[in-house]
Chain A
Amino acid sequence: NAGVTQTPKFRILKIGQSMTLQCAQDMNHNYMYWYRQDPGMGLKLIYYSVGAGITDKGEVPNGYNVSRSTTEDFPLRLELAAPSQTSVYFCASSRGQAVQPQHFGDGTRLSIL
């Protein structure tokens, strides 16, 4: 039972490079989310999706893009990486009902140098 799988676990990028963080879930959840967590801080929502083909911005979307072509996958794209994007990124999924919790992946630790 894999749940939510994120790859890679760690990555170091140079300023200006681009990369895609992968997220996949096998629970047939409609909702998927991307968060970033800076040291000592809570989770900030970057983007979320309510189903295949439907995405929307969260609190901190600038510098990121997402797509949702299938129910299972929700990749996060960083274009022109900046030091301010150094963070831990978590992907999560849920059934999209009020009393249903989110299930988190193990996270991707990203450093921009």
Chain B
Amino acid sequence: QKEVEQNSGPLSVPEGAIASLNCTYSDRGSQSFFWYRQYSGKSPELIMFIYSNGDKEDGRFTAQLNKASQYVSLLIRDSQPSDSATYLCAVSLTSGTYKYIFGTGTRLKVLA
């Protein structure tokens, strides 16, 4: 059973702080890794994706990937109350077709 694991939270951080969200995955053949943000009652929206080891930055967001440790993280700098949401980690599998396994998500609360 291929799995993606996330701490369900809630992760509470004060406004302006750095929020660190973590995700581990079990399939060593996984190719790409995605972070989605989901507000309550809404559909997931893509924040960013990464497929090479190291860091990838996009504005206040940084994704970090370590394939040897099977670990991917999302850092949110200067956290804002509007960042309060559930963050879903998704991994694309390499079984001949492009399927994605989602974690259960980490709920982030940014306190004003």
Using CB atoms and an 8 Å cutoff, list the residues of chain A in contact with chain B: 31, 33, 35, 40-45, 48, 50, 56, 58, 90, 94, 96-107
Is B12 among interface residues, defined by CB-CB distance under 8 A? no
Residues of chain A within 8 A of B71, CB atoms compared: none
* B98, A97: Cβ atoms closer than 8 Å: yes
Cα distance A41–B99 in the bound complex, in angstroms: 18
Residues of chain B within 8 A of A106, CB atoms compared: 42-43
Is B102 among interface residues, defined by CB-CB distance under 8 A? yes
Is B88 among interface residues, defined by CB-CB distance under 8 A? yes
* A104, B98: Cβ atoms closer than 8 Å: no
Is B25 among interface residues, defined by CB-CB distance under 8 A? no
A to B contact number (C-beta, < 8 Å): 59
Pick from B44, B88, B92, B99: contact of A48, CB under 8 Å: B99
Which secondary structure dominates where chain B touches chain A?
loop
* A104, B99: Cβ atoms closer than 8 Å: no
* B43, A107: Cβ atoms closer than 8 Å: yes
Known: A56-B97, A98-B31. A42 touches B105 (CB 8 A): yes
Q: Distance (Å) between the CB of A59 and the closest chain B CB?
A: 9
Extra contacts besides A48-B97, A56-B97, A98-B32 (5): CB < 8 Å: A31-B97, A45-B100, A90-B44, A102-B100, A104-B44
* A99, B99: Cβ atoms closer than 8 Å: no
* B104, A42: Cβ atoms closer than 8 Å: yes
Cα distance A40–B103 in the bound complex, in angstroms: 11
